[in-house]
Structure 1
Amino acid sequence: MSRSERKLLTSLTSFVRAQGTDDTLTDSLPIVGDGLAVRILELAVRVGESMLVAGANASDVTAAVVRIAGAYGLHPVHVDVTYNSITAAHHRPGATQPITLLRVVRGSAPDHERLQHLQALMVEVTRGLDLDAAAARYRDIRRTRFRYRPPIVIASQALLAVGVAVVFGGNWLVIVLAFVAAALAALTQFALARARVPYFFSQIAGAFVLTLVAALSPLLRQTGWDAAFEVRPSVIVASGVVLMLAGLTVVGAAQDAIDGFALTAMGRILELMTYTLGVVLGILAGLEVARAVGLAMPPPTEALPLGPVPLQFVGAALIAVSVAVFNGAGGRIIAVSAALSVVAWLAYVLASQVGLEVAAASGIGAFAGSFVGTLIAYRVHVPSVAITTAAILPMVPGAAVFRGLLSIVESGESTEVLLAGFTTLAAAAIIGVSLAVGASLGIYLGQPVRASLRGVSRTRARLRR
């Protein structure tokens, strides 16, 4: 190469390098634009909001929002779920500001069939469902009415009280009175809900009605019926207490606390305590009115005995079916809930026969029901929270709550009876905590086992091909 040619090559190289330093680098175009990102986030957050209202816990809601957004190419997405709001944010690298959406959750209305449809929608989205089709499908799910009409819901609530009475071995008259008392309480709460009265006062009114019916039940002895002399008012009130506490999210609160959703857990725990306090105040008011009119009930000296073991299983199944119905479940969830209630009660009975205390036996029963429920939930395509709630409810200590309150009201100047009442209430609280812990432990141990079984089944399916 000649000297002139080398000079020309050097000049061209310098020119190219100079041009390169003046030009700015071209930014890569985003795959998802801002408008599309907003639509994706809106769908994901709305689905999460509906799931939280329908009864899902905060961890499942967070996972659903992240999965739906990621299915349409939007990641990373940061989600914050509290008791009454959901916030989702997507901050693309290099963007001047993030895209953030906030939805306020206005109360809870358990609807397990809707929750089942929402989970099915999430699965379809992850399998490639178009965004517009997913949004239309979500609107259809949200507009769907509750599965059952009010008369059926009220009848199912009364059936729950029948199940509790059967568990305690009540005769036909006790069963009828428990049904009537629970139906009147449910009608009272339904009327107050239509009048937009806060649920706290609805709990007071329902428990008050239950207690008055139980206090009036001894008057039936004047009819001379043999069954009237075997009526135990405590069973009637105990069945109502279980009904009043059936809609409270004990397991959900425990799961949120364990998962690290402190605000959501504290909100649910505060709601649980407030509504339970409403039941306590209603029972206390009913007991005071009954005492004032000369229908005071004597404080019990020992715990209510359970009925024959076969009837206990029948009663547990009735309770689970009732809970599933007034939570809006379909036939599949109802059948699975009934089966799981039998599994949970079997574990409870076996633990009791071994010699464990009621709290420990209740925890073992809740663990068995939630563990088995978590394993089979994905196979039968039902929400695990729906069947777990129905399975553990027969072990709610309604009789212990009433027995403790009755001892406190009728203690008079007897310090021994007063202390016995507080001791009984403390024991009932321990049973409630044991149920929450056992159910949560069953869910957390069941999830990895379920994932392992799913992996094994997929491997076998590939080998068969």
Structure 2
Amino acid sequence: MSPEREWRLLTSVRRAIRTDPSQVALTEAYPVLNETVVVKILDLALRVGESMFAVGASAHDATFAITRISQVYGLTGVQVEVTFNAISVSYHRGEEDWPTTLLRVVRAASPDHAKLQRLQALVVDITDGMELSQARIAFRIIRRTPFLYRPIVVIVARALLTVGAAILFGASPLIILLTFISALCAAFTQAGLARLQVPSFFSQIAGAFVITAFATVVSALGAAGIEPFTDVQPSIIVASGIVLMLSGLTVVSAAQDAIDGFALTAVGRILDLTMQTVGVVLGILIGLEVARLFGFSVALPNDALPFGSLPSQIAGAAIIAVAVALFNGAGMRIILVSAMLSVIAILGYTFTLLLDIHVGAASAVGALLASFVGILIARNLHVPSVAVTTAAIVPLVPGLTVFRGLLGIVDSDGTAEGMLVGISPLVLAGTIGVGLAAGASLGLYLGTPIRETLASVAKSRARVRR
């Protein structure tokens, strides 16, 4: 055996037995942790965790960031409690001292994936040895960073999402244009209500009402024989609007918090999700009833409209993912990854349907593939996995199924058979929603250990090369 190989073997054996002090980050150490230092460390950790939670991170990610930052600066055994709208931390230095406890309220959760990306990078920098004073300054800079895009860009991006949904169904250029106009009206309406600080529940009602009213007018023009509205399918307009209304809901985060054991946070997210969905339902029902009072109606589709051709599905899914990433404040890297993962999700969904598998299971497979690939590449590309996963599964939101169910209930004659006609599509929509949440969460949990294994292998190879 050559001397070089003997030295490598000896180095490997030594590494398996002993730790290497040179590999430990030279983080600022505090031999005596007085109360002032403890408060500074806890305050930084808590503020970082609260900011991550407020811009879209899961409760587990926020807890991990808080405990990690605390451990790096010498606080072990920090207790963290995350609820739907508050985070608290507590550290007890010893039996003779009072515990130090801090609490911050999460005022309003608003996705900002670019800021989330910078916060995760800050946690990595702290782990690699950033001093406490520098970390506090860096966090203040990140916290004061404004949203990446101006309000008009967000409004147009939300309207662009419905264009992708219409393309997904293989709609004609006229329907795509009408869908964009209706969504633009709804987006401006919701933006105005947000400025007036109207609760999001009523904002959802108003947005859904605007889209339904627009679709009803288009349907009435077509019924009157006015060109070019005679061949327009208003159900696609409403279905695309439903995808817009439900695109910002935290389905993945709610399922992930429930699986992680954050029951209170998961219940809060699920309740918020339910209320937002109920708002959409009420807005559509109010719109249909108002139209009925004026003598107008929207024809109930006899069958569920299938997706368009495979190129239309790919283009529509990519546009939806890009639009979701834009109005969630994502940068160019997250936008590109989201578009790629949305294509993976729609391809997995489409090819699973070819095997004659239930649409709910097919949705779960598409979400699983997207989240699994997303968690593997998110670390190397330094993008939040929850950001790209959320954008990737929005194309599979069952907007048309929800609309068919609601329209069936409105058109029912009050009999049990008539009600079942409307309830059946809603049950199917619920099944698809559960499949999306379960598939996305399962993909994250299957990909996490594989990602950690690949990361450890890469570090081992780097040490051997050194």
Query: TM > 0.5 between the two?
Result: yes
Aligned to 1:37: 38
Cα deviations across residues 295-340 of structure 1 (Å, max 9, x unaligned)?
2112222111211111011000000000000000000000000000
User: Paired residue for 1:353?
Assistant: 354
1:212 maps to a residue whose letter is A
Q: Matches of 2:436 and 2:59 in 1, distance apart? A: 19
Q: Contact 1:156 / 1:323 at 8 angstroms: preserved in 2?
A: yes
Residue number in structure 1 paired with 2:241: 240
Kindly provide the amino acid, as one letter, of the partner of residue 208 in structure 1.
F
Please show how residues 147-162 of structure 1 align to structure 2 within 5 Å: 147-162=148-163
Q: Is the CA contact 1:367–1:438 (under 8 Å) kept in the aligned structure 2? A: yes
Question: Does 1:206 find its partner at 2:177?
Answer: no
Report which stretch shifted further, 293-302 or 42-51. Answer: 293-302
Spell out, residue by residue over 1:59-92, the C-alpha distance to the aligned partner (whole angstroms, 9 max, x if none). Answer: 0000000001111111111100000110101111
* In structure 2, distance between residues paired with 1:96 and 1:40: 17
Mapped partners of 2:202, 2:54: distance in 1: 21
Structure-2 residue corresponding to 1:75: 76
Work out whether residues 81 and 87 of structure 1, in 8 Å CA contact, stay in contact via their aligned partners in 2: yes
Q: Give the partner amino acid of 2:363.
A: S
Within a 5 Å distance, the mapping from 1:112-131 to structure 2 comes to: 112-131=113-132
Deviates more, 1:393-402 or 1:414-423: 414-423
Task: For structure 1, list consecutive stretches of 5 or more residues without a partner in the other structure.
Answer: 1-28
**Are the aligned partners of 1:300 and 1:407 in contact in 2 as well (CA < 8 Å)?**
no
Query: Structure 2: how far apart are the matches of 1:118 and 1:33?
Result: 27
Structure 1's consecutive aligned runs of 4 or more residues displaced over 4 angstroms after TM superposition are none
- Give the Cα–Cα distance (whole angstroms) in 1 for the partners of residues 418 and 364 of structure 2: 28
Residue 452 (structure 2) pairs with residue 451 (structure 1): yes
The equivalent residue for 1:442 is 443
Partner of 1:423: 424
- Structure 1 residue 94, shift from structure 2 partner: 3.0
Distance 2:458 2:124 in 1: 18
Matched position secondary structure for 2:103: strand
Deviation at 1:95, TM superposition (A): 3.2
Query: How far off its partner does 1:262 sit?
Result: 0.6
Residue 50 of structure 1 is matched in structure 2 by 51
Where 2:313 maps in the other structure, the secondary structure is helix
| 1:64 matched residue in structure 2 | 65
Q: Percent identity?
A: 56
SS where residue 460 of structure 1 aligns? helix
CA–CA separation in structure 1 for the residues paired with 2:175 and 2:151: 25
2:354 partner SS: helix
* Counterpart for residue 195 of structure 1: 196
Structure 2's unaligned 5+ residue stretches are 1-29
Offset of 1:254 from its aligned partner? Answer: 0.3
Deviation at 1:383, TM superposition (A): 0.3
1:411-456 deviation per Cα after TM superposition (whole angstroms, max 9, x unaligned) = 1245433211111101101110110000000000000000011111
| 1:21-62 Cα deviation digits (max 9, x unpaired) | xxxxxxxx9631111000000000000110010000000000
> C-alpha distance in 1, partners of 2:225/2:282?
32
Q: d(CA) in 1 for partners of 2:177 and 2:416?
A: 36
Q: Which residue of 1 aligns with 2:298?
A: 297
In structure 1, what residue type is equivalent to 2:269? R
Q: For 1:102, what is the secondary structure of its paired residue?
A: strand
Cα separation, 1, equivalents of 2:71 and 2:213: 55
> Distance in 2 between the 1:223 and 1:416 partners?
33
Equivalent position SS for 1:229: coil
Q: Which has the larger radius of gyration?
A: 1
Specify the code of the residue in structure 1 equivalent to 2:322.
Answer: V
CA distance in structure 1 between the partners assigned to 2:130 and 2:310 by the alignment = 50
1:93-104 equivalences in 2 (<5 Å): 93-104=94-105
Q: Distance in 1 between matches of 2:212 and 2:219?
A: 12
Q: CA RMSD in A?
A: 1.3
Asked if structure 2 preserves the Cα contact closer than 8 Å seen for 1:298 and 1:410, the reply is no
Quick check: 1:336–1:387 contact (8 Å CA) kept in 2?
yes
In structure 2, the partner of 1:412 is 413
The answer for the alignment partner of 2:27 in structure 1 is none
8 Å Cα contact 2:367-2:436 kept in structure 1: yes
On the 8 A contact 1:351/1:361 being kept in 2, the answer is yes
Equivalent residue number for residue 109 of structure 1 = 110
1:177 and 2:150 aligned: no
Give 2:401's aligned residue. 400
Kindly indicate whether the alpha-carbon contact (under 8 Å) linking 1:366 and 1:435 is maintained by their aligned counterparts in 2.
Answer: yes
Instruction: Report the Cα offset of residue 161 of structure 1.
Output: 0.3
2:428 corresponds to which letter in structure 1?
Answer: A
- 2:134 equivalent in structure 1: 133
Contact 2:166/2:240 (CA < 8 Å) preserved in 1? yes
Deviation at 1:354, TM superposition (A): 0.9
Normalized against structure 1, the TM-score is what?
0.92
TM-score by length of 2: 0.92
Aligned length: 436
Query: Aligned residue for 1:391?
Result: 392
Is 2:348 the counterpart of 1:333? Answer: no
d(CA) in 2 for partners of 1:70 and 1:413?
A: 62
Contact 2:112 2:147 in 1 (8 A): yes
